[in-house]
């Protein structure tokens, strides 16, 4: 994916998703420092659409709790040794169902 495609995804989804989730204009977007996130066209789109972006230190994926969840999910699915795409999809769904629905509640002290 490049910055132009990322901007298109934001344009097609971000504001509508915020509206659907009843976040209003006061939400803060969290993204890492991937080049497509910091590209000029992305920054311009975010500014033009008045999107607040959380400042994020570079090289700090460990600060993002979802990265840990994705790693755990990837390792669990890999442990199933799926042999084709259908098995892989089944394993992904099976492991996802094992994630406690309130997993993020444990992140806040």
Model pTM? 0.57
Position 107 scores a pLDDT of 63
Listed by start position, the domains of the chain span 3-58, 64-107
State whether residue 29 is helix, strand or coil: strand
- How far is the C-alpha of 25 from the C-alpha of 46, rounded, in Å? 12
Q: Distances from the Cα of 88 to the Cαs of 70, 74, 93, 98, in angstroms?
A: 15, 11, 9, 16
- How far is the C-alpha of 105 from the C-alpha of 109, rounded, in Å? 9
- Please work out, in degrees rounded to the nearest 5, the angle formed at the alpha carbon of residue 54 by the alpha carbons of 5 and 33: 50
Instruction: Show pLDDT as tens, one digit a residue, over the chain (109 residues).
Output: 999 999 999 999 999 999 888 888 788 998 888 899 999 999 999 999 999 998 877 766 566 677 788 889 999 999 999 999 999 999 999 999 998 887 776 665 4
């Amino acid at each position: 994916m490049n910055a132009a495609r990322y901007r298109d995804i934001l344009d097609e989804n971000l504001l509508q998703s915020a509206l659907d989730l009843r976040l209003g204009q006061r939400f803060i977007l969290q993204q890492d420092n991937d080049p497509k996130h910091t590209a000029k066209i992305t920054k311009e789109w975010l500014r033009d659409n008045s999107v607040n972006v959380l400042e994020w230190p570079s090289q700090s994926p460990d600060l993002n709790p979802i990265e840990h969840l994705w790693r755990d999910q990837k390792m669990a699915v890999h442990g199933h040794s799926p042999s084709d795409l259908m098995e892989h999809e089944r394993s992904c769904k099976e492991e996802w169902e094992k994630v406690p629905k309130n997993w993020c509640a444990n992140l806040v002290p």
